Amino acid sequence: MSELGNKRRTSSRRQPANRRQRSRTVSQGEVKKVKVPKQQPVEPGATVVTNSYNNVLPYQVTPKTRKPKPQGLVMPTAVKPIPTTTRQMSAPPSNVKVKTVRVQRQPVPMGRRVSKKTRLKPMARAFLYAIRLLIVGVGIGAIVGTVLSVLDPANRVPSTTPTASNNSGQIQPKPATTNPTPALSPSQEIPTLKNAVQELAAANPNLTPAVFLADLDTGGYVDLNADNSLPAASTIKVPILIAFFQDVDAGKIRLDEMLTIQQEMIVGGSGDFQYKPAGTQYPALEVATKMITVSDNTATNMLIARLGGIEAVNQRFQSWGLTSTVIRNPLPDLSGTNTTSPKELGNLLAMVSQGKLVTMRSRDQILDIMRRTQRDQLLPAGLDAGARAYHKTGDIGTLLADAGIIDTPTGKRYIAVVMVQRPNNDPRAEKFISSVSRAAYQEFTQTPPTPSNTTNTIPSTGYQSPVINAPATTIPTNIYQPPGTNAPATTMPTNVYQPPAVNQQYYPPR
């Protein structure tokens, strides 16, 4: 037993010497010990080291000692006793050379490794901020736009102009009005011309005429059943032409836009488009011109479709203040369901002449097209050479009509609309319209003599009935003031008026 105990004690004593010593990692800030080779004699047990700051830290290492273990206690081989050392600092000897060793500072260990996802985080954050700012900006813009649209005074006014669902749109720049005479300022009827028209009507009892004549300069007019709603025939093409040029002015239709003939648009009657196959295309301006000059019914249906259809065109007419002018069926309307009245056509032409519905450029184009109307046996037949008629005729079995603007060589411009209901294709209606045109032309172009004792110039603007204390510009044109009369023209008595004799050439042959 004593021998076995001695062996165990011997092995336990040798084990600390044979075990490998664990190397310690020098951390940042810890002094690394470096042994300096002996160049000179150094005292036993002395070791000189330097740290990274070149400070000499001499110390003397004392040999390791172990505490005596109890005789009866044997340590297991797996347990290593903790060594204890005692370091005593002493002054460095004067005969020892110190070698400075530069120690590289180790990087500070990071708590965690930076990944690619962490490095992209600032970029992603900036991108998210940009998206948020964009969303906020769009939201603020939408809110501000909504508030401004609600507060806009223009949106508070109810619009009376209808809007069509067709691709051409029907919003018009002119507000709707219920006044059927917006362009004319009628002063009074012209009695001489009214009497002439009434005598012509009395001489043709088989005809039922409706006449509207108006002087665009003075406002004098003649109204004979002018408010009657009558079959429009082809005179309905005049407001269609005006609606077409309104859309041209608004940029909704181009004059060189190609319009296609559809099979359902091809109809008989006047015009040569009826002989063209479906799918044929024509410029819009040519289609509008054919509608007026040769009264092409197929071209009219093409324009109605391009303007949005019959209902949209009727709404356009209502926005102009027209109540009798209505399209109920496509052209040709031989049964006379499409209607209008002489006064509405006359007021519509007066508005066009003054540029109230279209621009002045479009007005000139409208007049140029209407000047080329090929049928000239009605209103143009009553004019002298040098006069010019911008007109459109209408002819069905039971009605004959002509509506236009007349320019005289003296610079006078007036409106003439004559519509005559007749027995089927009665030729006397044509003679009646030309006779009324002749009477109006002579009335509006007559030039009265000028008195020699006054400097006031009597204008040749047509007859105006005398009024007491009226200014000199309203002197009746058929009254001659002899020279030497001292009475002013404004006090001319009214009892000297003698109605002019009706020229027998006004009446058609019976």
Q: Is the pLDDT of residue 390 over 50?
A: yes
- Residue 5 is predicted with a pLDDT of 52
Q: Does residue 190 contact residue 222 with C-beta atoms inside 8 Å?
A: yes
The proportion of the chain whose per-residue pLDDT surpasses 70, expressed as a percent, equals 56
Higher-scoring residue by pLDDT: 417, 137: 417
Whole-structure pTM over 0.85, yes or no? no
Q: Is the pLDDT of residue 498 over 50?
A: no
- Average of pLDDT values for 278-301? 96
Q: Is the pLDDT of residue 380 over 80?
A: yes
Q: Which of 260, 270, 276 is nearest to 293 (CA)?
A: 270
Q: Angle 237-249/360-371 helices, nearest 10 degrees?
A: 150
Residues 6+ apart with CB under 8 A from 415: 212, 213, 214, 216, 346, 349, 350, 353, 404, 405, 406
Q: Which of 301, 328, 307, 321 is nearest to 164 (CA)?
A: 307
Q: Does residue 434 contact residue 381 with C-beta atoms inside 8 Å?
A: yes
Return the CATH fold of 191-447: Beta-lactamase (3.40.710)
- Residue 142 is predicted with a pLDDT of 84
- Average pLDDT along the chain: 74
Q: State the pLDDT confidence band at 450, using cuts at 50, 70 and 90.
A: very low
Residues 6+ apart with CB under 8 A from 144: none
> Comparing 56-65, 241-250, 351-360, 475-484, which segment has the lowest mean pLDDT?
475-484
Q: What ranges do the domains of the chain cover?
A: 1-19+27-101, 121-153, 191-447
Q: Angle 342-353/360-371 helices, nearest 10 degrees?
A: 130
> Comparing 41-50, 259-268, 316-325, 449-458, which segment has the lowest mean pLDDT?
449-458
Q: State the pLDDT confidence band at 187, using cuts at 50, 70 and 90.
A: confident
Q: Angle 237-249/297-306 helices, nearest 10 degrees?
A: 40
- Average of pLDDT values for 455-482? 40
Q: Which of 411, 419, 410, 357 is nearest to 391 (CA)?
A: 419
- Residue 508 is predicted with a pLDDT of 39
- Average of pLDDT values for 343-349? 96
- Average of pLDDT values for 424-448? 91
- Average of pLDDT values for 382-390? 95
Query: Scanning the structure block, which residue is given the tokens 């819009």?
Result: 284
Q: Is the pLDDT of residue 505 over 50?
A: no
- Residue 132 is predicted with a pLDDT of 86
Q: Does residue 413 contact residue 216 with C-beta atoms inside 8 Å?
A: yes
- Residue 134 is predicted with a pLDDT of 86
Q: Report the chain's C-alpha Rg in angstroms.
A: 57
Q: Is the pLDDT of residue 215 over 70?
A: yes
- Residue 482 is predicted with a pLDDT of 42
| Chain segment 240-259, per-residue pLDDT in tens | 999 999 999 999 999 999 99
Q: Does residue 269 contact residue 257 with C-beta atoms inside 8 Å?
A: no
Q: 3-class DSSP state for residue 401?
A: strand
DSSP track, 42-64: --TTEE--B-TT--B--EEEPPP
